[in-house]
Amino acid sequence: MQEELGILIKAQYPLLSLVTFEEERAEQAIAKIAENSKPQRRVFIWTLTHGMVEYGQPRVTQHNTVSPQAAIDWVIRQNTPGIFVFKDLHPFLDGMGNAEVIRWIRDAVASFKGTDKAIVLMSPVQQVPIELEKEVVVLNFLLPNMAELNQVLSRQLEKSRSRRINTETREKLLKAALGLTRDEAEKVYRKAQVTAGRLTESEVEIVLSEKKQLIRRNGILEYIEEDETIDSIGGLEELKKWLKQRSNAFTERAREYGLPQPKGMLILGVPGCGKSLIAKTTSRLWGLPLLRLDMGRVYDGSTVGRSEANLRSALRTAESISPAILFIDELDKAFAGGAGSADSDGGTSSRIFGSFLTWMQEKTSPVFVMATANRVERLPGEFLRKGRFDEIFFVDLPNPDEREEIFKIHLSKRRRDISRFDIAQLAKVSDGFSGAEIEQALIAAMYEAFAQDREFTQLDIIAAIKSTLPLSKTMTEQVTALRDWARQRARPAASSVAEYQRMEF
């Protein structure tokens, strides 16, 4: 990105928008570009608090430049080559009674033709009014890469006069901090050092756990840790096989073999049949971090452009931690309405939907999107188009064999010896039950017996099953509609169905 910024400045692009939270790092990058450009350019930074101040010089505000209009006027009058950075000008660019500032910027841009002057709008929010859309180039200032983190780490090691660390440890410490801003990386290295009194391989865990904390604090992405393995899921053999085959899909070896990086998968299915569980256990199977994108938190109507900024920042964090799995639960709810919802919320959801699709289309970093959905009719058609996901799987209600497996898994979790249960009978009486309902029936049976101060039995479980009305009965229409739809368009997750369908065609 820094390179691109340099090229644009050299090519005399008059107006750039740099989206970042890392002001200091971005300023340093701009200063470096200015120093290396021919002719050399001066860098001025504008803030609403201090007006226009020259970068790297004692803080002296240029005469009467605190108001944005006056500052832009001042910039227009400068004759020397320069980069003029406006920090947080976005509240003045929302088109709400700030027409004057936007007009001043247009005047400035027009006056820059043939000069070595450029304005950089720096802010954490991407805010481009329609009047400037054709003039501005938007750049996302990327999080630090390994080389930049290496500088941070080296400085920390120097400061603490730690003994040298070997290349492998260094690489692990750097990888652990990927996804953090420079300030955050500095903080976690310092904390790891203070906690352990040194920075060695065993401190990688501290750095990682600090990173998880920071990601949690960001509030939109959640770092999920799952203890269950894929073997604690009953049935869904086809789906498991597909996932197991791709265990090494993100390795260098797979690239050398000529395989493309998997993009993502969509798991459609009846509620409570293990969709989320599959997503979570895949993270363990593939040995990749699992980041849950909470779309509810992406939407933020407090300021214009805030939701888009949230989504962008979350996706960028996921990319910088990659290879990683980005888990979006209930995609149907997250993007309900998609492109068609422009009227209800000023177009925010359709813009968010558009940004997400573009990101999915263009992403080159190894972020595997794992999405689940219960309702196809609410899912924007764009997601179902071929090529968007590598595969769309349909997870149906478990068949009798799968129900047996699910009973075995959940009974074994709770009792060491399960030979006293007639599992085949339990599978038979629980026809139409989802995995979650089977688990709930089992828990209900245990509560019943526990209240009577005795061990639970086969009969307790059967009684609990009999007193449960499964979703497949209460929502027959919805389940049937989903099945009919999926039969034509999605790949069945259970092997029995898959074999049956293969025979049919």
Whole-number Å distance between alpha carbons of 319 and 421? 48
Q: Which of residues 438-467 bind ligand ATP (CB under 6 A)?
A: 439
Stretch that binds ligand ATP, among 26-34, 182-190, 215-223, 229-237 (CB under 6 A): 229-237
Stretch that binds ligand ATP, among 137-145, 266-274, 297-305, 338-346 (CB under 6 A): 266-274
16 vs 493, beta carbon nearer ligand ATP = 493
348 vs 372, beta carbon nearer ligand ATP = 372
264 makes contact with ligand ATP (CB under 6 A):
no
The identity of residue 317, as a single letter, is T
DSSP symbol at 389: B
Whole-number Å distance between alpha carbons of 403 and 235? 8
205 vs 231, beta carbon nearer ligand ATP = 231
Quick note: the x/- pattern for ligand ATP over 349-388, rule CB under 6 A, is -----------------------x-x--------------
Stretch that binds ligand ATP, among 18-26, 179-187, 191-199, 227-235 (CB under 6 A): 227-235
235 makes contact with ligand ATP (CB under 6 A):
yes
Shortest distance in whole angstroms from residue 274 CB to ligand ATP: 3
Quick note: the x/- pattern for ligand ATP over 49-78, rule CB under 6 A, is ------------------------------
Nearest to 348 by CA among 395, 299, 293: 299
404 vs 460, beta carbon nearer ligand ATP = 404
Contact 21, 182 (CB under 8 A): no
φ, ψ for residue 64 (rounded to 5)?
A: 50, 60
Q: Is 434 helix (H, G, I), strand (E, B) or coil?
A: coil
406 makes contact with ligand ATP (CB under 6 A):
yes
Contact 193, 160 (CB under 8 A): yes
Q: Which residues have CB under 8 Å from 196's CB, separation 6+?
A: 202, 203, 206
Contact 342, 353 (CB under 8 A): no
Whole-number Å distance between alpha carbons of 280 and 228? 8
Contact 320, 214 (CB under 8 A): no
277 makes contact with ligand ATP (CB under 6 A):
yes
Pairing outcome for strands 51-54 and 82-87: unpaired
Whole-number Å distance between alpha carbons of 11 and 466? 74
Structure tokens at 469: 């009305």
Whole-number Å distance between alpha carbons of 438 and 404? 10
Stretch that binds ligand ATP, among 257-265, 286-294, 385-393, 432-440 (CB under 6 A): 432-440
233 makes contact with ligand ATP (CB under 6 A):
yes
Shortest distance in whole angstroms from residue 298 CB to ligand ATP: 19
274 vs 492, beta carbon nearer ligand ATP = 274
234 vs 264, beta carbon nearer ligand ATP = 234
Shortest distance in whole angstroms from residue 372 CB to ligand ATP: 6
Q: Which of 275, 292, 312, 316 binds ligand ATP (CB under 6 A)?
A: 275
Whole-number Å distance between alpha carbons of 80 and 70? 18
DSSP symbol at 381: G
204 vs 395, beta carbon nearer ligand ATP = 395
409 makes contact with ligand ATP (CB under 6 A):
yes
Stretch that binds ligand ATP, among 14-22, 26-34, 431-439, 492-500 (CB under 6 A): 431-439
> Nearest to ligand ATP by Cβ — which residue?
435
435 makes contact with ligand ATP (CB under 6 A):
yes
276 makes contact with ligand ATP (CB under 6 A):
yes
| E strand or H helix that includes residue 492 | strand 491-492
Q: Which of 272, 289, 380, 492 binds ligand ATP (CB under 6 A)?
A: 272
Q: Which residues have CB under 8 Å from 387's CB, separation 6+?
A: none
Length of the chain: 505
Shortest distance in whole angstroms from residue 231 CB to ligand ATP: 10
CA distances 419 to 424, 442, 453, Å, are 12, 16, 21
DSSP symbol at 386: B
Residues that bind ligand ATP (CB under 6 A): 233-236, 269, 271-277, 372, 374, 406, 409, 435-436, 439
